[in-house]
Each structure stands twice: as structure tokens, then as C-alpha cells.
């Protein structure tokens, strides 16, 4: 069955979902986006994702063509139209059609695109055995250039770090900020465990304020695990007991090696495994 794509004001067939080559989202990466999961036909943390999208748009002075309630309804309509039981939503808003110049004020009718489809996850084996990663030499964007909390369509900073990971035959890389502190992975947030305490880089270090990240912190707190947000260094990653990533697509996945150094005993640790189980229960509404 061909996908139904929400384009601007309603659903269209996949073959008809087209934007202009003069759209500044294409020409300059001028726009914002969200990635959202669907579990058992329920959209995960939809209101939080929509709120973050509008905040990103406000920061880059991008006008939205719908109110938040209208956009929530459009997302739900798109998911139902494609009969998505477990899948992924990509929500994209661009500045719209303009000229070949940078001037954003000439752009009209920003494009709104909602895609709901299946998603290619990491193989289950990787969740069981854990993932190897490397440190990227690509530095996270300076916060005075573009706040890292903005999920913009210009993802070149992350893509260049991703290329470094792939060059080293691993799927992910750690990005550090201009001061040398841990920011995030190329597409996920970072957590480590040391002496039973869960540590996460603060948002100010250059990490996205991830929706999954926030859920993991709440779940850890419920389990009585102390959570500390503080600046982390490469040394902290090398000596931690456990290391895992969180994100919309990755969910919770353990890291067992970084830069050739084994993390813990070389297997996803007990807190990582527990939080992955708790997250799955939470996402699917099976919490005890």
C-alpha cells in the first residue's frame, strides 16, 4: 500500500508529496523537524514532541501554519491513514519557497510534511551484546552559533561525526563541545553509570534535550537511582561502569566499548538492562 503523506493542509499520495526546488528547507537547511515513535498504535510523548518543535521554530523565527492542537490532530490522522502499529513519524517544517538568496523574509507558505512509516532499528543482537563507538574529532556546534536544543534541518555537524563513526566500522560516535566536555552522540543522548549513580551531560554542554532522555531520567528516579546532570569528560567515559545511549530510534542501548577501551565487563550493565526494560514497559503502557 502506498503511503499517505501529510503535505501542508492534508493527505496526499506518496507520489504526489513534492516540494519546490526553491524551498529554503532544501536550499539552506532552513527548517526544523521531529522524529516520533509509535508503539502499539499509540504515539509516544506526542505533546512533548510538538511542544519542542514549536520551541525550535520560535528560536529560528519560523512561522507555523497550524496551532499545536491542529498539528497534533494532523499527526494522528497521518498515523491512522497509514495503519501504523509500530513505526516512526518524521515531522518537518521548512521556511518555504523563496529565492536563491539567503533572505528568509521572501519565503512564502512554509512546507509542513508528516511521514508515518515503519522504521529500521538496530538489530536485536546489538541490544543484547552492546554497541562499540568512537570519539569524534568533529566538535559540536558552538551554542552561540545555533543552540543545540534546536532540531534544525541542517544536520551537517552530526553527519560529519557520523561519517567518522562509519569510517571506524562502528554505528555511533561521541561528540564533544568546544570546551572538551561530552555533548551527545550523533543521534542520541549519553548516559553513564559509576558507583550506582547515573550521570548525564547537561543540556548546556551541547546536548539536545531529548524526549527519551527525559523519560529515562524519570524512570531512573522512580527506581531510586540517583541522577546527576554534570559536565563529563572523555576520562569519565573511559572509567565508567556502564554506558548507554537514549533516543527516539535507539530507545535505550548499551555501549560496551569506546575508542578501543572496554566499558565495565564488556556487556550491557544491570542498570542499562533494567532501564531498557522499564522504558519498553512505559512506551507500551505496560507499567506495573
**Do residue 256 and residue 137 come from a single domain?**
yes
Asked if pLDDT for residue 287 goes beyond 90, the answer is no
User: What is the count of structural domains for the chain?
Assistant: 2
Higher-confidence position of 124 and 240? 240
Among 117, 144, 178, identify where a domain stops.
117
Q: Residue 151, CB half-sphere, CA atoms under 13 Å: how many?
A: 23
Among 96, 117, 138, identify where a domain stops.
117
Average pLDDT over residues 39-54: 96
User: What pLDDT, on the 0 to 100 scale, is given for residue 215?
Assistant: 97
**Do residue 136 and residue 38 come from a single domain?**
no
In angstroms, rounded to a whole number, what is the distance separating the alpha carbons of residues 278 and 272?
Answer: 10
**Tens-digit pLDDT profile for residues 173-197:** 999 999 999 999 999 999 999 999 9
Asked if pLDDT for residue 41 goes beyond 90, the answer is yes
**Do residue 206 and residue 84 come from a single domain?**
no
Report if pTM > 0.75: yes
In angstroms, rounded to a whole number, what is the distance separating the alpha carbons of residues 21 and 98?
Answer: 10
- Return contacts of 62-70, CB within 8 angstroms, 24+ apart: 62/30, 62/31, 62/32, 62/93, 62/95, 62/110, 63/110, 64/93, 64/110, 65/8, 65/9, 65/109, 65/110, 65/112, 66/112
Backbone CA torsion sign across 45, 48, 54, 58: negative
User: What pLDDT, on the 0 to 100 scale, is given for residue 119?
Assistant: 85
In 107-210, which residue ranges form alpha helices assigned H by DSSP? Answer: 124-129, 156-167
- Residues that are catalytic: 151
User: What pLDDT, on the 0 to 100 scale, is given for residue 90?
Assistant: 97
- Calculate what percentage of the chain has a pLDDT beyond 70: 99
Q: Please, which pLDDT band fits residue 221 given cuts at 50, 70 and 90? A: very high
Among 101, 117, 133, identify where a domain stops.
117
Q: Which residues contact 244 (CB under 8 A, 6 or more apart)?
A: 191, 192, 252, 253, 254, 255, 268, 272, 275, 276
User: What pLDDT, on the 0 to 100 scale, is given for residue 288?
Assistant: 57
**Do residue 195 and residue 91 come from a single domain?**
no
User: What pLDDT, on the 0 to 100 scale, is given for residue 108?
Assistant: 84
Q: Please, which pLDDT band fits residue 202 given cuts at 50, 70 and 90? A: very high
Owning domain of residue 227 = 124-283
- Calculate what percentage of the chain has a pLDDT beyond 90: 91
User: What pLDDT, on the 0 to 100 scale, is given for residue 88?
Assistant: 96
**Do residue 256 and residue 131 come from a single domain?**
yes
**Do residue 71 and residue 139 come from a single domain?**
no
Average pLDDT over residues 216-243: 98
On whether residue 288 sits in a domain, the answer given is no
On whether residue 130 sits in a domain, the answer given is yes
**Tens-digit pLDDT profile for residues 113-158:** 999 999 877 889 999 999 999 999 999 999 888 888 999 999 999 9
User: What pLDDT, on the 0 to 100 scale, is given for residue 271?
Assistant: 98
Q: Domain holding 187: CATH number?
A: 3.20.10.10
Amino acid at each position: 500500500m502506498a503511503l499517505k503523506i501529510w503535505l501542508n493542509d492534508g493527505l496526499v499520495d506518496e507520489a504526489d508529496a513534492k516540494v519546490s526546488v526553491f524551498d529554503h528547507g532544501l536550499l539552506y537547511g532552513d527548517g526544523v523537524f521531529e522524529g516520533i515513535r509509535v508503539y502499539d498504535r499509540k504515539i509516544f510523548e506526542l505533546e512533548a514532541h510538538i511542544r519542542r518543535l514549536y520551541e525550535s521554530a520560535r528560536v529560528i523565527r519560523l512561522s507555523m501554519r497550524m496551532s499545536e492542537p491542529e498539528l497534533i490532530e494532523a499527526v494522528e490522522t497521518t498515523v491512522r491513514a497509514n495503519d501504523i502499529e509500530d513505526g516512526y513519524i518524521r515531522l518537518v517544517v521548512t521556511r518555504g519557497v523563496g529565492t536563491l538568496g539567503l533572505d528568509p523574509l521572501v519565503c512564502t507558505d512554509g512546507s509542513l510534511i508528516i511521514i508515518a512509516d515503519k522504521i529500521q532499528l538496530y538489530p536485536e543482537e546489538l541490544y543484547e551484546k552492546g554497541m562499540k563507538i568512537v570519539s569524534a574529532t568533529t566538535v559540536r556546534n558552538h551554542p552561540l552559533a545555533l543552540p543545540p536544543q534546536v532540531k534544525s534541518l541542517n544536520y551537517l555537524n552530526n553527519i560529519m561525526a557520523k561519517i567518522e563513526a562509519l569510517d571506524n566500522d562502528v554505528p555511533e560516535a561521541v561528540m564533544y563541545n568546544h570546551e572538551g566536555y561530552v555533548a551527545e552522540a550523533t543521534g542520541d543522548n549519553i548516559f553513564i553509570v559509576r558507583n550506582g549513580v547515573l550521570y548525564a551531560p547537561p543540556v548546556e554542554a551541547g546536548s539536545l534535550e531529548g524526549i527519551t532522555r527525559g523519560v529515562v531520567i524519570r524512570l531512573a528516579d522512580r527506581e531510586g537511582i540517583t541522577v546527576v546532570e554534570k559536565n563529563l569528560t572523555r576520562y569519565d567515559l573511559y572509567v565508567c561502569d556502564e554506558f548507554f545511549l537514549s533516543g527516539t530510534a535507539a530507545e535505550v542501548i548499551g555501549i560496551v566499548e569506546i575508542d578501543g577501551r572496554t566499558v565495565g565487563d564488556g556487556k550491557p550493565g544491570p542498570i542499562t538492562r533494567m532501564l531498557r526494560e522499564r522504558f519498553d514497559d512505559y512506551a507500551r503502557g505496560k507499567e506495573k
